[in-house]
Amino acid sequence: MDASLFFSETYETARSRFLEAAARAEARIVSYENPSARGPHGTPLYLDTAWFGPADAETVLLNTSGTHGAEGFAGSAAQLAWIETCGPRDLPPRTAVLLVHAVNPFGFAWGLRGTENNVDLNRNFLDHAAPHPDNPLYDELHKFLCPKRLDDAAMSKMLAAGARFVEKHGQWALEDAISRGQYTHPDGYHYGGLEPEWSNLTLRRIAETELAQARRVAFVDWHSGPAGDGELIYLCFSNPRGAEFARAAHWWGEDALDPATVNAMWGSKRPSRRGIMFWGLEEQLAPHARLTGAVVEFRSARHKPSPAKTIRASLLERWLRFEGGLDAPEAKGFLEEIRDDYAPRRQSWHDNVIRNALACYRETIVGMADWERERARAAD
> Which of the ranges 36-44, 65-73, 139-147, 358-366 carries the binding residues for Zn ion, by CB under 5 A?
65-73
Binding string, residues 214-233; x marks residues near Zn ion by CB under 5 A: ---------x----------
Binding string, residues 267-286; x marks residues near Zn ion by CB under 5 A: --------------------
Degrees to nearest 5, angle at CA 285 with 15 and 135: 80
> Which of the ranges 36-44, 69-77, 186-194, 316-324 carries the binding residues for Zn ion, by CB under 5 A?
69-77
Residue 47 has phi, psi (to 5 degrees) of -105, 130
Smaller CB separation from Zn ion, 71 or 175: 71
Smaller CB separation from Zn ion, 215 or 339: 339
- Provide, rounded to whole angstroms, the least separation between the CB of residue 377 and Zn ion: 37
Smaller CB separation from Zn ion, 53 or 107: 107
Q: Is 122 helix (H, G, I), strand (E, B) or coil?
A: helix
DSSP characters over 93-116: TTEEEEEEE-SSHHHHHHT-SS-T
Distance between CA atoms of residues 300 and 64, nearest Å = 18
Smaller CB separation from Zn ion, 75 or 324: 75
Smaller CB separation from Zn ion, 223 or 318: 223
Name which position in 68, 132, 180, 247 contacts Zn ion (CB under 5 A): 68
Q: How many binding residues for Zn ion (CB under 5 A)?
A: 3
Smaller CB separation from Zn ion, 58 or 317: 317
DSSP E strand stretches across 199-309: 216-224, 232-235, 290-298
Strand arrangement of the beta sheet that strand 28-33 belongs to:
28-33, 46-52, 95-101, 59-64, 216-224, 290-298, 232-235
Strand pairing report for 232-235 and 216-224: unpaired
Distance between CA atoms of residues 52 and 243, nearest Å = 27
> Which of the ranges 25-33, 61-69, 139-147, 162-170 carries the binding residues for Zn ion, by CB under 5 A?
61-69
Whether 58 contacts 68, CB under 8 Å: no
CA contacts within 13 A on the Cβ side of 134: 5
CB-count exposure of residue 246 (10 Å: 0-12, 13-18, 19+): middle
- Provide, rounded to whole angstroms, the least separation between the CB of residue 295 and Zn ion: 7
- Provide, rounded to whole angstroms, the least separation between the CB of residue 341 and Zn ion: 11
Whether 91 contacts 368, CB under 8 Å: no
299 belongs to the binding site for Zn ion (CB under 5 A) = no
Q: How far apart are the first and last CA of the chain?
A: 44
Smaller CB separation from Zn ion, 57 or 100: 100
Window 70-99: residues binding Zn ion (CB under 5 A): 71
- Provide, rounded to whole angstroms, the least separation between the CB of residue 276 and Zn ion: 10
Smaller CB separation from Zn ion, 210 or 221: 221
- Provide, rounded to whole angstroms, the least separation between the CB of residue 233 and Zn ion: 11
User: What is the contact surface with Zn ion in residues (CB under 5 A)?
Assistant: 68, 71, 223
